[in-house]
Amino acid sequence: MHIFLTGGTGLIGSHFLQLALGEGHGITALRRPGSQPRIALPLQPQWLEGSLEDDWSDVFGGCDAMVHLAAHGMDLKAGDWQECFRWNVSASLKLWQSAAEAGVRRFVIAGSCFEYGRSGERYEFIPVTAPLEPTAPYHSSKAAASMAALGLAVEKNLELIVLRPFHVYGPGEPAHRFWPSLHRAAAAGEDFPMSEGRQVRDFVPVHQVAASFLHAVTRGDLQAGSPAIENVGSGHPQTLLSFAGSEWKAAGATGRLLPGAIPMRASEVMRYVPELPAA
């Protein structure tokens, strides 16, 4: 298949490219000028440099599917409402409409577990039918984008699925996040201060998430005009402390984990775990 990809230099996108190109798929990938994938790629897609707001209608004609991973505001502590909605909703919707008008029929769109927001606290395993109660600009814009995508799929009779990954980690992850920080301390032989670690999460390796997106491109159960939503996780919920301990041991760390050295966030959600589709 030939796939039009956005967000190919992000964490999931970089691993998606590695996997999809390795399996022989053709990829046309959109990136911002000068941006590079987060991991080294033995094969390269056909890169286009530009913006979601540019006109790519002349490219869509040769594409069988669109995989949309681009997002604004994910790694910002305080996202900007206007910019998050500009890129995650308005620009993205315009791009999807252009692709649909050019004949692209299958869309695989990245949502976010944070669309569930506060409603996630009320479930042992969060179903895709849980109310969306986002609490910040990025989370809210992703929820709005999901609703726009679902409506567009019905109106235009598209094959569409929104995948909501939970806590993704792995090579290429931004350096300030938990997993890279832990491995950096392990490699340096340093102690690693962290919170008590009682939070329960579903930590899912990025290569597994990338595989879920690639599978969605070719799966045979998506129906035109009947869009789907699925959570993406490992199926192995665990505390942050348990996750840290297993990663610390696997890294051969000589320092110590220091749970409780950093205070818990005042609004910390103690359990945030997805209900996953039946195998």
* Pair (91, 131) in one structural domain: yes
pLDDT tens digit sequence for 214-263: 999 999 999 999 999 999 999 999 999 999 999 999 999 999 999 999 99
* Pair (12, 138) in one structural domain: yes
Measure the CA–CA gap between 47 and 43, rounded to whole angstroms.
12
Residue 43 within any structural domain of the chain: yes
* Pair (38, 163) in one structural domain: yes
Residue 145 within any structural domain of the chain: yes
* Pair (61, 85) in one structural domain: yes
* Pair (95, 178) in one structural domain: no
pLDDT grade, residue 74 (50/70/90)? Answer: confident
pLDDT tens digit sequence for 152-194: 999 999 999 999 999 999 999 999 999 999 999 999 999 999 9
Q: How many domains does the chain have?
A: 2
pLDDT tens digit sequence for 99-131: 999 999 999 999 999 999 999 999 999 999 999
pLDDT tens digit sequence for 21-53: 999 999 999 999 999 999 999 999 999 999 999
* Pair (220, 242) in one structural domain: no
Give pLDDT, residue 78.
57
| Percentage of the chain modeled with pLDDT above 90 | 94
* Pair (117, 194) in one structural domain: no
* Pair (152, 211) in one structural domain: yes
Give pLDDT, residue 76.
59
Residue 123 within any structural domain of the chain: yes
* Pair (224, 253) in one structural domain: no
* Pair (124, 186) in one structural domain: no
The domain that contains 140 carries what CATH number?
3.40.50.720
As given in the structure block, the two tokens for residue 101 are: 């008008």
* Pair (132, 240) in one structural domain: no
Residue 111 within any structural domain of the chain: yes
Residues in the chain: 279
Mean pLDDT taken over the chain: 96
Residue 99 within any structural domain of the chain: yes
Residue 278 within any structural domain of the chain: no
Domain of 180 in residue numbering reads as 171-201+236-272
Residue 138 within any structural domain of the chain: yes
The domain that contains 197 carries what CATH number?
3.90.25.10
Measure the CA–CA gap between 164 and 117, rounded to whole angstroms.
13
The dihedrals phi and psi of 82, each to the nearest 5 degrees, come to -65, -45
pLDDT tens digit sequence for 221-234: 999 999 999 999 99
Question: Do residues 153 and 107 make contact, with C-beta atoms less than 8 angstroms apart?
Answer: yes
Residue 277 within any structural domain of the chain: no
* Pair (207, 105) in one structural domain: yes
Give pLDDT, residue 101.
97
Lowest mean pLDDT among 9-13, 201-205, 268-272: 268-272
Give pLDDT, residue 266.
83
Smallest CA-to-CA distance from 8 within 24, 25, 31 is with 31
